[in-house]
């Protein structure tokens, strides 16, 4: 039969009290590592540990003496939400106005009229009544703009007599002292130059008489020519000038 050792209650109480003091010194009870709201066990004066009441999970408003704030029933104004990237956006750029479709087109400057060429003209030789006198005849070379565009002309036309084969006879027409006039010929307009023609008969055997089929006419400043029909005789000698021509003037 086992012998039971009976330890007096005072010794047990003292032992428990010493253990509590020892644990408190080591920082186990009441230290920073202990979670808040956990109360350290207390020892009854009788030497026996008293029952530790569990901490309340929710503090009572009556114990703290403070009234809990009632939830607000008024809606809280939400902060305005900025669109994404609003913080980095700069000031709005000014819109570039698009050209209006109703804007009037810029005026177009008319193209300047070019020089009248033989390809743009038609010609004829007019001989007015009573044009002959003192062995010479005064005729008119008339040039008309037959194109669809205006053209300009000014100065003396080049005139020489030619054979039926187109070969020049003698010297070209000399120029008189008439003044130069700048003319703009609209389609259908005409200009005329006075042509004085002498008689080959005034020069006898030195003339070198040659049959004439027409007059070759170069408009002023042009490099092409027209051949206007005229039949007669001309001097082939290069020492004799039978014709004199004036500048182009508005046709009468």
What are the residue boundaries of the structural domains of the chain, listed by start? 9-49, 115-250
Buried b (16+ CB within 10 A) or exposed e, 72-96: eeeeeeeeeeeeeeeeeeeeeeeee
**Which contiguous run of DSSP H or E holds residue 35?**
none
Buried b (16+ CB within 10 A) or exposed e, 126-160: eeeeeeeeeeebbbbbbbbbebeebbebbbbbbbb
pTM of the model: 0.56
Query: Which positions ≥6 away from 24 have C-beta within 8 Å?
Result: 30, 40
**CA-wise closest residue to 117 among 158, 155, 152:** 152
DSSP state of 198: E
Q: Which class for 207: exposed (0-12), middle (13-18), buried (19 or more C-beta within 10 A)?
A: buried
* CA angle at 206 for the pair 203 and 208, rounded to the nearest 5°: 100
Architecture of domain 115-250: Sandwich (2.60)
Q: pLDDT tens string for the chain (252 positions)? A: 444 444 555 545 555 555 544 444 444 444 444 444 444 444 444 444 444 444 444 444 444 444 444 444 444 444 444 444 444 444 445 445 454 445 555 544 444 679 999 999 999 999 987 766 667 899 999 999 999 999 999 999 999 999 999 999 999 999 999 999 999 999 999 999 999 999 888 888 889 999 999 999 999 999 999 999 999 999 999 999 999 999 999 997
What is the pLDDT at residue 203? 86
Contacts 24+ apart (CB under 8 A), 53-60: none
Indicate the length of the chain as a whole number.
252
Query: Which positions ≥6 away from 143 have C-beta within 8 Å?
Result: 116, 121, 122, 123, 153, 157, 190, 191, 192, 193, 217, 219, 226, 248
């Amino acid at each position: 039969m086992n012998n039971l050792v009976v330890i007096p209650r005072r010794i047990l109480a003292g032992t428990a009290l010493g253990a509590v003091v020892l644990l408190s010194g080591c920082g186990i009870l009441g230290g920073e590592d202990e979670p808040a709201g956990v109360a350290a066990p207390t020892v009854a004066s009788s030497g026996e540990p008293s029952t530790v009441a569990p901490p309340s999970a929710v503090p009572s408003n009556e114990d703290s003496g403070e009234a809990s704030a009632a939830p607000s029933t008024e809606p809280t104004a939400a902060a305005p939400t900025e669109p994404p990237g609003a913080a980095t956006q700069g000031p709005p750029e000014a819109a570039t106005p698009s050209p209006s479709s109703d804007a009037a087109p810029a005026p177009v400057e008319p193209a300047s009229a070019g020089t009248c060429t033989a390809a743009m003209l038609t010609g004829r030789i007019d001989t007015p009544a009573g044009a002959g006198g003192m062995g010479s005849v005064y005729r008119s070379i008339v040039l008309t703009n037959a194109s669809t565009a205006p053209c300009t002309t000014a100065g003396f036309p080049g005139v020489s007599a030619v054979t039926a084969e187109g070969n020049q006879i003698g010297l070209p027409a000399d120029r008189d002292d008439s003044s130069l006039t700048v003319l703009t010929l609209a389609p259908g307009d005409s200009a005329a130059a006075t042509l004085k023609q002498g008689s080959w008969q005034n020069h006898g055997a030195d003339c070198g008489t040659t049959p004439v089929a027409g007059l070759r006419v170069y408009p002023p400043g042009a490099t092409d020519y027209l051949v206007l029909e005229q039949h007669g005789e001309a001097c082939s000698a290069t020492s004799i000038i039978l014709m004199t021509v004036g500048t182009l003037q508005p046709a009468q």
